[in-house]
């Protein structure tokens, strides 16, 4: 995908493997567990490279910057290339 492509946030969260299913990602967004650039959002909102996301999952809280766009789920190694987690987020989760 190139920079001009748009990806729905629920599809991106699923492709980045933050949630097992797209419906779980949608529920998390509707429940206020995902914030895009500090704002509460809806599942149809598009994400672009450089956006900052705060994501609350059962595995912990993440603060990540979107590095690449994808609406296809692939292996975990590929999913990790879609985002970069902030140093503060890593430190909070390791405690």
Band of pLDDT at residue 30, cut at 50, 70 and 90: very high
pLDDT value at position 59? 87
Residues 71 and 8: their CA atoms lie apart, in Å, by 8
pLDDT value at position 4? 57
Residues 30 and 73: their CA atoms lie apart, in Å, by 21
Residue 12: both structure tokens together: 């991106």
Residues 29 and 76: their CA atoms lie apart, in Å, by 22
Band of pLDDT at residue 1, cut at 50, 70 and 90: very low
Element (H, E) at 80: helix 76-80
38-64 confidence digits (pLDDT tens): 999 999 999 999 999 999 999 899 999
């Amino acid at each position: 995908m190139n920079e001009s492509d748009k990806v729905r946030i629920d599809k991106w969260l699923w492709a980045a493997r933050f949630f097992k299913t797209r419906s779980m990602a949608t529920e998390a967004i509707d429940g206020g567990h995902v914030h895009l650039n500090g704002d509460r959002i809806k599942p149809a909102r598009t994400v672009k490279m450089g956006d900052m996301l705060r994501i609350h999952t059962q595995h912990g809280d993440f603060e990540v910057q979107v590095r690449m766009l994808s609406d296809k789920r692939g292996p975990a190694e590929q999913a990790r290339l879609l985002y970069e987690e902030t140093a503060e987020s890593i430190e909070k989760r390791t405690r």
